[in-house]
Amino acid sequence: MPVKRSNPKTMHRAGELRKEPTPAERKLWAYLRGDKLHGINFRRQHAIGNFIVDFVSIKNKLVIELDGSQHIDQKDYDIERSKYLEAQGYKVVRFWNNQVENDLEGVVRAIEIALSNE
């Protein structure tokens, strides 16, 4: 029997989050969707274990997280979350929402660099 990547509650919540993207998530998703980034497939609001990541390329084992101001107060949680994802073989890259809003080209370049350093 295959190992499940998450639990039903987390997967249900991921579906809910896909319906309510933040402005930064919407902007980056418009760029990532449809394999527009060099033919690489990304998923959004994807459940991995007990966590829901903003964007992930399963094939390339790359997680992209967008952080808003709430992340200032949850630094320890984000560190533990990144450790878990890295233990599952994922590389985690983080951007502030305002980076996506103000410098999408720079964010995309950083994602391309992360993908080339697999």
The pLDDT assigned to 83 comes to 94
- The sheet carrying 62-67 orders its strands as 43-48, 51-57, 62-67, 91-96
For 70-80, what is the mean pLDDT?
Answer: 75
Residue 118 has pLDDT above 70, yes or no: no
User: What total number of domains does the chain contain?
Assistant: 1
Strand 51-57 and strand 62-67: the pairing is antiparallel
Q: Is residue 3 part of a domain?
A: no
Q: Is residue 81 part of a domain?
A: yes
Give the domain CATH number at 109.
3.40.960.10
Structural domain harbouring 87: 8-116
Q: What is the pLDDT of residues 10-36, one digit of tens each?
A: 777 777 888 889 999 999 999 999 878
Q: What is the pLDDT of residues 80-110, one digit of tens each?
A: 999 999 999 999 999 999 999 999 999 999 9
For 28-56, what is the mean pLDDT?
Answer: 92
Task: Specify whether the CB–CB gap between 10 and 50 falls below 8 A.
Answer: yes
Residue 71 has pLDDT above 80, yes or no: no
The pTM (predicted TM-score) of the whole model is: 0.86
For the chain, give the percent of residues with pLDDT over 90: 60
For the chain, the 3-state helix, strand and coil shares in percent, each to the nearest 5, are 55, 25, 25
pLDDT band at 77 (very low <50, low <70, confident <90, very high): confident
